[in-house]
Amino acid sequence: MQPKREFQRAVVTGGAGFLGSHLSDALLASGCEVICVDNLCTGSRDNMRHLLDDPRFTFVLADVSAGLHVEGPVDLVLHLASPASPVAYTELAIETLEVGSRGTSNALELAAEKGARFILASTSEVYGDPLESPQSEVYRGNVNPVGERSMYDEAKRFGEALTVAHATRRGVDAGIVRIFNTYGPRLRSGDGRVIPNFIRQALVDDPMTVYGDGTQTRSLCYVDDTVRGILDLAASHHLGPVNIGNPEEITITELAERIRGLIGSSSPLRHLDLPADDPKRRCPDILRAGTLLGWKPTVSLNDGLLRTISWFEENQETPDEGPPVAESLSQGLKERTGP
């Protein structure tokens, strides 16, 4: 194993989002300067409000699909810009495809120009509705290219192919991380993902929405572990792809009951039809992450859920549903902007 690297100045596209803002926190804590680029179509000002007084943090209000230029040296580009929840990428289908193609291309061009390490935040969705479990990086997946989730799945699959092409043909120092279901503080309560849905409903004793019969599984990784895995890949010299996720598998019904018990809620379970192409099983094989990076998750599901529930309890009076795209792009910010 080659020695891990440290970074001085990083660009985080999608840095105002749930995961991007946690990555920005970790990079700043390591002594790295951070340039966050986001158009706020699904990101939030509140996610980075605590960082705006840090002189090492700069926020740039911009759409990376339209271009990405940063003055001065950069030694790390983390490309996370994309709608990431079913509600968001369904509503923003074209924008999702554009940021996965043009946005990824622009981020790769920046990394090539600066001689920077590039990390693509890909997803377990590239495996589609898998026919084998757990899913290893060599599994080619079962994706419907014209289905209801295709805009997100295919955007990420194209982004992976583009990243490999730049690495093998142009010598860009690149890595691909396939992120499995990640949860924690700063998830938007109305974005349609299972944990914020269940927590929001259970806190007010509303029915907890279970799609299908609830036997489908997810493997849930607390955000601190996911961030550590992404940065471990960034600090390595590996192209990947590398799965980052928690292999502890749980059914949706068991998850609802676990959250209901931790909150002490009396919410009943309400079953609705399962959406088309919804994965029946989702579980990462993390052998490659352990072998190449020495990474494994350390936060238990109960501990992670308790931390997340606590955050939602403190923030439930003014949930951040995210501003409309048109408002985000026209309104501007009072905070510092510019590279």
Locate the DSSP E strands across the chain.
9-13, 33-38, 57-61, 76-79, 117-123, 174-179, 182-183, 208-211, 217-219, 221-222, 242-244, 249-251, 269-272
CA distance linking residue 61 with residue 291, whole number of Å? 38
For residue 78, the cross-strand partners are 12, 119
Q: Which of 89, 127, 152, 222 is catalytic?
A: 152
- Alpha carbon of residue 92 to chain centroid: 16
Residue 142 to residues 63, 125, 276, 277, 280: CA-CA distances in angstroms? 31, 10, 13, 10, 12
CA distance linking residue 296 with residue 322, whole number of Å? 32
Signed CA dihedral, 95, 138, 227, 31: sign only: negative
For residue 117, the cross-strand partners are 76
For residue 210, the cross-strand partners are 271
Q: What would the two tokens of residue 186 be?
A: 């700063």
Helix intervals (H) in 132-193:
150-170
Using DSSP's 3-state secondary structure scheme, residue 296 falls into: coil
Active site residue 183: no
Q: What would the two tokens of residue 62 be?
A: 């911009």
Kindly list the catalytic residues.
Answer: 152
